[in-house]
Chain A
């Protein structure tokens, strides 16, 4: 059993533990009941989708600076994973919205932002798939990742001014819908960490796969 397998089994065990805690340790919340358990899935995946976006942009900048194909692989893999996590966050959020507020979708600021994040990831990956030359693809995709990263702060400013929001304040709030008890905070933190670890593991696997394929091509 090598170090990777140990790491993987630790992550699987931790994920099992968190899931167990979410269903047993976390108490039902007044007004939301058992639905609050969705948040323990929704918040971590939403966090990871933003993290993946950040990693993708940083890797893009590093690629432009160093021209090492590894960074391009990091950027692409991170974007792919980000798209997946972003979809999970969107769907879980929509289900939660339907069950608590009565509609799957109402262009709430956060729904709009996450939808745009989906669009950006989708456009980035579509752009990559249409360019055949590897070096060119890497450069163009990197510039696109950086450009879309520049526009995100604008979205954060413009969208909340346009639509009223029902979404609770980000993660840690004292007074909103989700009264966070210490137990819940601990479980949530654990869930976020485990989710980030899953992302990290999937990312390193993806990069390793790309690298080995490139080695095969060179041989």
Chain B
């Protein structure tokens, strides 16, 4: 239950700032995650070096790299709270919805940061021509929103599980698949120089998972 005086937006802001500060101090994302992203990117790039990639193939590889980076890092928002024993405190100070929104926003920032790093390198390594940067970025942002939100819900689920990291990937993938597939399709359309036609769909998916998260998060949070 929320403490009187701590409104929703204040709680959200506090959680976001706390997580950013923790991140700044531990530099987990900037260390491990960035290296993880570089490793996947390099392995994909080296394995396909010299072969001309079709837009569909390049788009699929880009999303695979982003997806596995997300899987490597995003479960941490709750697992870390659990490991250092601050879950109860968080539960006392903020409502489920505020925690959900704050953590999702933090995950989104993390993911967008990774995308800002990965995408230019991807373009350089694979010698891609991106005609319309605006639509390309919009596709990535919509995809990242979905990934961040779903990953946040799944992260709170795996807290109670054993072998958290493995199960996190396993349970996140089927839920993310619609977004994943339409993201691949939209990016390949942009890379081929066409207008992507699945953006409304991706936005709809984002709205659906955000709504589902707001409705269902309390069940996971308050027990």
Q: List residues of A whose CB falls within 8 A of some B CB.
A: 64, 116, 119-120, 122-124, 126-127, 130-133, 135-137, 139-140, 142-144, 146-148, 150-151, 154-155, 157-159, 161-162
Contacts and interface: CB of A to CB of B under 8 A. Distances in A.
Nearest to A64: B219
A150 B153 CA distance: 14
Contacts, number: 89
Contacts of B216: 143, 146-147
Contact of B160 (A137, A158, A159): A137
Interface string B140-175: 000000000000010001101111000100110111
B116 interface: no
B167 A158 contact: no
A202 to B, nearest CB: 24
A148 B175 contact: yes
B178 A130 contact: no
B173 A123 contact: yes
Nearest to B179: A154
Main DSSP-derived SS at the B contact region? helix
Interface stretch (B33-41, B61-69, B127-135, B205-213): B205-213
Contacts of A158: 178, 181-182, 198, 201
Nearest to A133: B160
A157 B181 CA distance: 11
Contacts of A119: 173-174, 177
B139 interface: no
A48 B220 CA distance: 30
Interface centre among A126, A140, A146, A162 (most CB of B within 10 A): A140
Given A139-B220, A161-B185, 17 more contacts: A119-B173, A123-B170, A124-B171, A127-B171, A130-B161, A139-B223, A146-B212, A146-B216, A147-B153, A147-B175, A147-B209, A151-B177, A151-B178, A151-B208, A155-B177, A158-B201, A162-B181
A162 B184 CA distance: 10
A130 B153 contact: no
A139 B153 CA distance: 13
A126 B170 contact: yes
Interface centre among A135, A147, A161 (most CB of B within 10 A): A147
Given A140-B157, A140-B220, A157-B201, A126 B171 contact: yes
Contact of A127 (B161, B173, B212): B161
Interface centre among A131, A135, A144, A158 (most CB of B within 10 A): A158
A136 B223 CA distance: 7
A55 to B, nearest CB: 18
Nearest to A132: B162
Nearest to B213: A147
A182 to B, nearest CB: 39
Contacts of B157: 127, 140, 143-144
Nearest to B184: A162
A207 B198 CA distance: 42
Contact of B205 (A147, A148, A154): A154
Interface in B186-223: 198, 201, 204-205, 208-209, 212, 216, 219-220, 223
9 contacts: A64-B219, A131-B162, A132-B162, A136-B160, A139-B220, A140-B157, A140-B220, A144-B157, A157-B201
Contact of A140 (B160, B175, B178, B185): B160
Contacts of A132: 162
